[in-house]
Amino acid sequence: MEVNDSPRPGGPRDARGGLRRQRLLRTAARLNAVAAILLALVLAVMANYLSIRHYRRMDWTRTRYYSLSQRTLDLLGSLTNDIRVIVFFQPEHQVYTDVENLLREYEYASSRIRAEYVDPARDLARTEELAQKYQVGEANVVVFDSGARSKYVGLDDMVEFSYPGMEEGRIPEAVAFKGEQAFSSAIQDISQSHSPVVYFLEGHGERSVEDFDQRRGYSSLARMIRRDNITVKTVRFGEMTALPEDTDALVIAGPARRFAQPEIDLIGTHLAHNGRLILMLDKDVRTGLAPLLEEWGIRVGNDVVTDPARTLTGDDLFITEYGEHPITAQMKGLTTIFYQPRSVSPAAGTGGAGDPSDKPRVVSLASCSADGWAETRPGDGLFQFDPLEDRRGPVPVAVAMERGAAPALDVRIRPTRAVVFGDSDFVCNGAMAGGGLDFFMSALNWVLEREELLAIAPKTIVESRLILNRHDLRELFWILVPGLPLAVALAGLLVWLRRRRGA
């Protein structure tokens, strides 16, 4: 009789084997799930690591509000030194977000730009430390530091304000953001190895850069020029036979007395040797410079430009008409207030693209409107247009002159440049309103061949508002608060029911 000891199908031993296999399969499935999760985490970490080190920022906004211009990108690409940016700004300020977002673009474009944010109202110790180091006495400014040189940009340099509700007690409204122009100008300034030197002439009753008088002083203008990393000095002709060797530009602001012929010759020699000049002439003053200016294609009238449509008191002239020139490229929409200016015009036979390189090219920068005129008899105080003697508007009150290589020639010669204004009051301490300071600084930057500081346009601030009434808010509440969670719960319930029915 034979006994078969092999396990019978369906017996206890077979059942135990099946359970063991099921446990192994479940364990393998769990290990596979854990491995898949770990692999997914590793891939996520790797993707995040690579995205942090290798990424690309894109501006998909309609106006490309924070996108940097190609001029700024070229400037940042040419940096050879590190630039530290200290932002003294209150986070509650209306343009704080614009400043922060714009500086992020600078940091992304160049690894040499690093920004630090200091809240003057909360971080008092750090604020005091940096304020003493950089001589900052106000909030809402941005300081650029290259180690050897520094420059700070104030709120008015970054933002263009409108004041329609000041009489009603409302705060000024920001209408244009000039942050890129101001920041790139600051970086350009502190990155230059040479600081331009501008001499203000004295000895003929000119405006003084050390005078704090509100009506005649130029101390505020000198401070603004120094903030642009330009050295300001004074000079008297005396017995000198030439201007100092470090002269990058000469400013003659409102002379009240006649120049001697040797002094006129000295100014002429300066211009003939590719010099730079800014001249501001007031009405009823005979300086003796008219013949020299005629040689350079500039005619100064013995008159007063008036415009009944562009004045409040009769003595002021609101300038809104500007010519096509790099100086006035960013003056559109700004108003410059002159005070009884005299006419300054291109002389006959100047200007035009066909002029040879040795002839001056003179362009009108600002004029009165067609309703104004040049009054040739202002002494009697009666401003009445006389078609036989007076000159109908638009009459220029400021011109720019350049003499150098012709535009068609592929030759780089340092040109002679000069800007002549028919008034010197518009940038005195108490009169720097509107676009007066911008006009003068643009002229100075052009004279010094710093056009890169003029070519970045401000960004118009467009306020987008989502207006919802009470009915819209109620609908939004029901959709977001109970609606979305219930939709997710319902989707989960449907999936569970489907799986259970399939099982």
Closest CA to 160 of 152, 172, 151: 172
Confidence tier at 456 by pLDDT (50, 70, 90): low
> Is the Cβ–Cβ distance between 103 and 90 less than 8 Å?
no
Residues with Cβ within 8 Å of 401's Cβ and at least 6 positions away in sequence, in order, are 296, 297, 298, 360, 361, 362, 363, 416, 417, 418, 419, 420
Looking at residue 50, its pLDDT comes to 84
> Can you tell me the distance from the alpha carbon of 246 to that of 241, in angstroms, rounded to the nearest whole number?
15
Confidence tier at 353 by pLDDT (50, 70, 90): very low
How do residues 274-305 score in pLDDT, each as one tens digit? 999 999 999 989 999 999 999 999 999 999 99
Across the range 207-217, mean pLDDT stands at 91
Characterize the bridge pairing of strands 396-403 and 391-392: unpaired
Distance, first Cα to last Cα, the chain: 49
Mean pLDDT of the chain: 83
**Token representation of residue 281:** 């002439």
* pLDDT higher than 90, residue 444: yes
Among 148-157, 339-348, 378-387, 486-495, top mean pLDDT goes to 339-348
Strands (E) located in 182-262: 197-202, 231-236, 249-253
Output phi, psi for 94, to 5 deg. -70, -20
* pLDDT higher than 60, residue 196: yes
Looking at residue 269, its pLDDT comes to 93
Sign of CA dihedral 104, 106, 110, 112: negative
Would you list the DSSP string of 442-496? HHHHHHTT-GGGT-PPPEEP--------HHHHHHHHHIIIIIHHHHHHHHHHHHH
> Is the Cβ–Cβ distance between 69 and 180 less than 8 Å?
yes
Confidence tier at 267 by pLDDT (50, 70, 90): very high
Characterize the bridge pairing of strands 231-236 and 197-202: parallel
Looking at residue 363, its pLDDT comes to 94
Pinpoint the alpha helices (H) of 9-95: 12-53, 70-77
Characterize the bridge pairing of strands 159-162 and 391-392: unpaired
> Can you tell me the distance from the alpha carbon of 275 to that of 265, in angstroms, rounded to the nearest whole number?
13
> Is the Cβ–Cβ distance between 206 and 255 less than 8 Å?
yes
**Token representation of residue 8:** 């019978």
Please give the residue that has the higher pLDDT: either 44 or 383. Answer: 44
Looking at residue 263, its pLDDT comes to 94
- Does 61-194+454-470 match 197-449 in CATH topology? no
**CATH number, span 61-194+454-470:** 3.40.30.10
Q: Which amino acid is at 95?
A: V
Looking at residue 3, its pLDDT comes to 53
How do residues 38-77 score in pLDDT, each as one tens digit? 998 999 888 888 877 776 777 776 667 778 887 788 888 8
* pLDDT higher than 50, residue 354: no
**Percentage with pLDDT > 90 across the chain:** 31
Confidence tier at 189 by pLDDT (50, 70, 90): confident
Looking at residue 287, its pLDDT comes to 94
Mean pLDDT is lowest, of 133-147, 162-176, 372-386, for 162-176
Tell me whether the omega of the peptide bond preceding residue 255 falls within 30 degrees of 0, making it cis: no
Looking at residue 201, its pLDDT comes to 95
How do residues 319-329 score in pLDDT, each as one tens digit? 988 999 989 88
Please give the residue that has the higher pLDDT: either 459 or 355. Answer: 459
Say which CATH topology domain 197-449 has.
Rossmann fold (3.40.50)
Give the containing element (helix H, strand E) for 344: strand 344-346
Looking at residue 314, its pLDDT comes to 79
Other beta carbons within 10 angstroms of residue 256's beta carbon come to 13
> Is the Cβ–Cβ distance between 428 and 280 less than 8 Å?
no
Across the range 206-231, mean pLDDT stands at 88
> Is the Cβ–Cβ distance between 85 and 144 less than 8 Å?
yes
> Can you tell me the distance from the alpha carbon of 247 to that of 275, in angstroms, rounded to the nearest whole number?
9
Ordered by start, the domain boundaries in the chain are 61-194+454-470, 197-449
Across the range 427-434, mean pLDDT stands at 82
**Residue bearing tokens 């010669």:** 413
How do residues 94-130 score in pLDDT, each as one tens digit? 888 889 989 999 998 898 999 999 888 888 888 888 7
Looking at residue 169, its pLDDT comes to 60
